[in-house]
Homo-oligomer: A and B are copies of this chain.
């Protein structure tokens, strides 16, 4: 299963440097997980991810359940063998996608009935079924099946969903058969600090292998999200990994670590790459901007990635405008490097006790809103191709 060790703490003990050891390798934390919804990080091969420094990725149980089907993946020997990704995998339980992507979603205490976003076919997922699917997929880390309410919602609605999420978490635990996969619980509770504490206390009492914070980065102000982290993380066991789901932008990673988060996932580097939005040490640029048509500079002169070592903004601008697939791939590689590099910087800063300086310098360097980029970093926390 997994082991988590915290080596060093910084920022009054809140920011943590650790190692998460899985059956498929050890990952230094804080860590960012690229999203490979359908069993592949869009356009990127395993060896590219590894050479960028990634050892843990996320796959979406919802998408793989629909296509090719978890039984097919199981018959092919599980996700690692099927996709040939040699590193560790975490599967999202599908809760978020069921509520955000599917049609005609009907929730009862028993589970959720929904229509596939692909063909309208009817499906029924219970906590037990979510575990069965994830055990068939065979990731290193599974997630409990949770109810995600649209926010803002009434306190009653949020409370009801967190209570159900916690009851489902217990059923997920009881449903486990495999002993080689870890299971993380998910703390819901909307934007209410009291409900967040209540949700955390319930989940922690059940004893999971790790603890995730769900239902954030769904459109709220960043200050609200950060307040929710302040209201939740202190109630999580200090010796277990803390995972902030579906987050986020570079500043969210820095601020999440500053609040005790060890793991993140987000489609931002990959999806932004596809829309031509490229991260730099001072913020981001939109490569489709006409001013780059004859710009011989790399995306970021301060970046050491293989794309910046070789290609000009002018070439990437051209590839983007003509919708050439290579452009998407190069943009994605650059953005994935940026995220991996940011996490390396965060870890190095915690290691030598300078994370406060790192955080201040990070924010000071950023030029706000230089160029408008298409956002949409969190429509569905997955990398689905819309048909």
Contacts and interface: CB of A to CB of B under 8 A. Distances in A.
A310 interface: yes
Contacts of A40: 319, 324, 326-327
Interface string A294-321: 1010000000000000111011011101
Most buried by B among A39, A294, A315, A318: A318
Contacts of A324: 38-40, 42, 385
- The 9 tightest CB contacts between A and B, nearest first, are A43-B325, A40-B326, A68-B318, A323-B385, A38-B322, A40-B324, A42-B325, A84-B310, A67-B322
A76 interface: yes
Given A72-B294, A76-B315, A314-B82, A43 B329 contact: yes
Main secondary structure of the interface of A (DSSP, over half): loop
Interface in A42-70: 42-45, 63, 67-68
Nearest to A77: B296
Nearest to A295: B76
Copies per assembly: 2
Contact of A68 (B44, B321, B327): B321
A349 interface: no
A45 B326 contact: yes
Interface of A: 38-45, 63, 67-68, 72, 75-77, 82-84, 293-294, 296, 310-312, 314-315, 317-319, 321-330, 385, 387
Given A38-B318, A68-B318, 20 more contacts: A38-B319, A38-B324, A39-B315, A39-B318, A40-B319, A40-B326, A42-B325, A43-B325, A44-B326, A67-B318, A68-B314, A76-B296, A76-B315, A82-B312, A82-B314, A82-B315, A84-B311, A323-B385, A324-B385, A325-B325
Nearest to A71: B294
Contacts of A322: 38, 63, 67, 385
Nearest to A385: B323
B325 A328 contact: yes
A288 to B, nearest CB: 12
Contacts of A328: 325
A294 B325 contact: no
A329 B326 CA distance: 9
